[in-house]
Amino acid sequence: MKVKINQTLKDVEGKPLNGEKGKALTMRDVCINSLLTPIQGDDEKAKWEKYEIFKKLRDASSEVELKLEELNTIKKAVGKIQPPLLMGEVFDMLEGK
């Protein structure tokens, strides 16, 4: 499935959120941060899968082709790491809403 990863996340008022150095916070930023944040209980296999997805996201500029399993891995990481607002927006974007 092709996913647009450069979509900007918005705050509760619908204004774009700023990330590092005042740049707009994108879905790509949140997904990478979530994938690279250690989660207790992850074994080497899970860490390797996250790293492989990270490389895809890192190397893509606006769209990336992701398998269903990769989407689920991203959603699991985002769900555990991010607050509800960011999690909800990323899930919507990943599902094409």
Q: Please give the pLDDT value at position 22.
A: 79
Q: Which domain holds residue 45?
A: 2-94
Q: Per-residue pLDDT tens for 39-69?
A: 999 999 999 999 999 999 999 888 999 999 9
- Give dist(CA 3, CA 39) in Å, integer: 24
pTM passes above 0.95 = no
What is the tally of structural domains in the chain?
1
Res 23 pLDDT > 90: no
Q: Per-residue pLDDT tens for 71-87?
A: 999 999 999 999 999 99
Burial class for 34, CB neighbours closer than 10 Å (0-12, 13-18, 19+)? buried
Res 20 pLDDT > 80: no
